[in-house]
Amino acid sequence: EITEIVETTPGRMLIGQILPKNPAVPYSTANQLMTKKMISKMIDTVYRGCGQKETVIFCDRVMQLGFKNACDAGISFGKDDMVIPASKYTIVEAARKQVEEFEQQYNDGLITQGEKYNKVVDAWAKCGDKVAEEMMDAIRKVQIDEETGRQKPINSVYMMSHSGARGSPAQMKQLAGMRGLMARPDGSIIETPITANFKEGLNVLEYFNSTHGARKGLADTALKTANSGYLTRRLVDVAQDAIIVSVDCGTERGLTMEPIVDAGQIVASIGQRVLGRTAADDIFHPLSGDLIAAKGTLLEEKHVDIIEDARIQSIRIRSPLTCDMRQGTCAACYGRDLARGTPVNMGEAVGVIAAQSIGEPGTQLTMRTFHIGGTAQVVDSSFLESGAEGKIAIRNPNVVKVEGGKLVVMARNVSLAILDAEGKERATHKVTYGSKLLIKEGDEVRRGQRLAEWDPYTRPILAEVEGEV
């Protein structure tokens, strides 16, 4: 038994008391902010360290602890818990002025109807996000009671949303921020947003605008449920002959896995992509040269942690796509059985499992529109963020300096590479033509730092030389 002094809270001690007494599950597992994700992680740690029986007992205890304390706490929320940010009106006013400017540009013939529509929708979407950000900041703040000088309870709406128990920031935004842009029944976005929120109340016109999306949500839910069930049936029909028929087909082929990066954000790290798969080659540490995993090893959490720390950029793994079995798949190409966390068993109907796994969220996604209630969401990004930390190298640097000393990209094949201390490439980002670079060659950048900005709705025409037109 290890005894140590830790800084903690009474709530975390309650969780600590029900943890299995096992060195594989240290107190630090419970000594952190427990969101829904962290609870899943904690149960996973217990399962891997203590086995099935202990996990079942532990889950039971967590459930009882949750019910008892949710009952004792009696969390609910009133209208004062929904804090409307003070800066909301100035943000909305600024967006309104911007939209008037776009209207004027359209009337003067400077931009087309389509460009005006895109710019207006983008301006209102940004305005909605800004108001939501301010609202989250106001709700998140720890407040001190002036009379007692003690900390006030945490805002219960924020607690519900942040813990992952109920409600999402998209719903909170409608309660205390602004409802934002609405979708028409055909899916296109109505240009005029609803600037009010549910706390302030909607006027007649705003309410009428919001009925489009709400009705579409109900109609879609009724119609799409049948389609998603049929999709599952067809998927099962196609995939039912994919069964694990041997332990190892002995193929030399495989797929190369790299982190998935979208708009500078790492969507799936290399560790997430290779966890539970079989290594197709020996994996060595890039600095020390030590062997992390031999060829044919099933990559587990311990391997993945080393791979992530070593910042390896690509790994070749076995895949059912490159399996050499005539019929079905082999266990080595398939990898881990995700239900048990162990190598997959012979005869497992992996095709049917895959078909059901793709078909099941189909039903969930149908319900998604219904929950948010017809508010539109705009996805076009207008900036690029760094996916790693390191030194910037501009590849194919066809750039020109403009007023203010910023660099503007003049070609379509320019990319930004982020290098580590050894000069190895850790991430590469393609840059849009006409982007303003916010960094220079050789700059040190942090992860998540903005590297470039552009307007997604206008295509610039740039002069490559100066002179008279």
pLDDT level of residue 344 (50, 70, 90 thresholds): very high
Query: What mean pLDDT do residues 275-297 have?
Result: 89
In a domain, 106, yes or no: yes
Name which of 114-123, 137-146, 215-224, 296-305 the model is least confident about: 215-224
Query: Contact at 8 Å (CB) between 195 and 130?
Result: no
Please tell me whether residues 189 and 291 are part of one structural domain: no
What is the domain extent for residue 139? Answer: 85-215
Q: Quote the CA–CA distance of 377 and 125 in Å, as a whole number.
A: 8
Task: Tell me the per-residue pLDDT of 407-456, one tens digit each, with 9 for 90 and over.
Answer: 888 877 888 888 877 777 777 778 888 888 888 888 888 877 888 888 77
How high is the pLDDT of residue 371? 45
Least reliable range by pLDDT among 161-170, 176-185, 424-433: 424-433
Structure confidence at residue 466 (pLDDT): 76
Residue 373 confidence (pLDDT) above 70:
no
Give the count of beta carbons closer than 10 Å to the beta carbon of residue 391: 16
- Count of domains in the chain? 4
235 belongs to a structural domain: no
Q: Are 329 and 246 in contact (CB under 8 A)?
A: no
Residues 166 and 264 in one domain: no
Pair 136, 62 in one domain: no
- What are the structure tokens assigned to 137, written together? 């900041």
- Residue 7 CB-density burial (10 A; 0-12 exposed, 13-18 middle, 19+ buried): exposed
- The pLDDT of 30-38, averaged and rounded, is 91
In terms of phi and psi (left: phi > 0; alpha: psi -120 to 50; beta: otherwise), the region of 39 is alpha
Look at residue 262 in the predicted model and tell me its pLDDT: 67
Q: What rounded mean pLDDT belongs to the chain?
A: 85
Q: Is position 230 within any domain?
A: no
Structure confidence at residue 370 as a pLDDT band (50, 70, 90): very low
Is residue 134 domain-resident? yes
Final residue of a domain: which of 215, 236, 266? 215
Q: Write out the two tokens for 322.
A: 């490159």
- Pick from 142, 172, 171: which is nearest to 155 by CA? 142
Beta strands 425-430 and 415-419 are: antiparallel
Q: Are residues 102 and 146 in the same domain?
A: yes
What the block records as the tokens of 53 is 């029986």
| 161 occurs within a structural domain | yes
CATH number at residue 405: 2.40.50.100
- At 322 the pLDDT is 92
Whole-angstrom CA distances from 24 to 2, 47, 53, 58 are: 12, 10, 15, 14
Rounded to whole angstroms, the Cα distance separating 258 from 158 reads: 36
Same domain for 43 and 154, yes or no, is no
Residues 207, 111 share a domain: yes
pLDDT tens per residue, range 37-62: 999 999 999 998 898 899 999 999 99
Are 287 and 309 found together in one domain? Answer: yes
234: Cα within 13 Å, side-chain hemisphere: 7
Query: Is the residue at 248 inside a domain?
Result: yes
Give the sign of the dihedral formed by CA 336, CA 337, CA 343, CA 349.
Answer: negative
Nearest to 89 by CA among 119, 48, 134: 134
pLDDT band at 367 (very low <50, low <70, confident <90, very high): low
CA angle, 235 then 240 then 246, to 5°: 135
Residue 278 confidence (pLDDT) above 80: yes
pLDDT band at 366 (very low <50, low <70, confident <90, very high): low
Does residue 24 share a domain with residue 128? no
| SS3 per residue for the chain | CCCCCCCCCHHHHHHHHHCCCCCCCCHHHCCCCCCHHHHHHHHHHHHHHHCHHHHHHHHHHHHHHHHHHHHHHCCCCCHHHCCCCCCHHHHHHHHHHHHHHHHHHHHCCCCCHHHHHHHHHHHHHHHHHHHHHHHHHHHHCCCECCCCCCECCCCHHHHHHHHCCCCCHHHHHHHHCCCECEECCCCCECCCCECCCCCCCCCHHHHHHHHHHHHHHHHHHHHHHHHHHHHHHHHHHHHCCCCEEECCCCCCCCEEECCEEECCEEEECHHHHHCCCEECCCEECCCCCCEEECCCCECCHHHHHHHHHHCCCCEEECCHHHCCCCCCEEHHHHCEECCCCEECCCCCCHHHHHHHHHHHHHHHHHHHHHHHCCECCCCCCCEEECCCCEEEEEECCCEEECCCCCEEECCCCCEEEEECCCCCEEEEEECCCCCEECCCCCCEECCCCEEEECCCCCCCCCCCCCCCC
Task: Using alpha carbons, select from 79, 82, 69, 80 the residue that is nearest to residue 165.
Answer: 69
Average pLDDT over residues 252-257: 91
Q: Alpha-carbon distance 194 to 321, whole Å? A: 48
The reported pLDDT for the residue numbered 457 is 65
Q: Do 114 and 172 reside in the same domain of the chain?
A: yes
Q: Which residues contact 197 (CB under 8 A, 6 or more apart)?
A: 82, 84, 173, 174, 175, 176, 177, 178, 179
Task: Please tell me the predicted confidence (pLDDT) of residue 101.
Answer: 94
Give domain status of residue 1, yes or no: no
Q: Are residues 34 and 65 in the same domain?
A: yes
Which CATH number does the domain housing residue 176 bear?
1.10.132.30
Domain shared by 282 and 393, yes or no: no
Residue 75 and residue 422: Cα distance in Å, rounded?
52
Residues 250 and 189 placed together within one structural domain of the fold: no
Residue 372 in this model has a pLDDT that exceeds 70: no
Query: Of 73, 103, 127, which residue constitutes the final position of a domain?
Result: 73
Q: What CA–CA distance (Å, rounded) separates 165 from 159?
A: 8
Residue 194: what are its φ and ψ, rounded to 5°?
-95, 110
Q: Is the pLDDT confidence value at 236 over 90? A: yes
- Residue 4: predicted pLDDT: 81
What's the predicted TM-score (pTM) here?
A: 0.69
Nearest in space to 378 (alpha carbons), one of 102, 169, 122, 95: 122
Q: Is residue 270 part of a domain?
A: yes
Domain boundary among 165, 198, 215: 215
What's the pLDDT at 123? 92
pLDDT at 88 over 70: yes
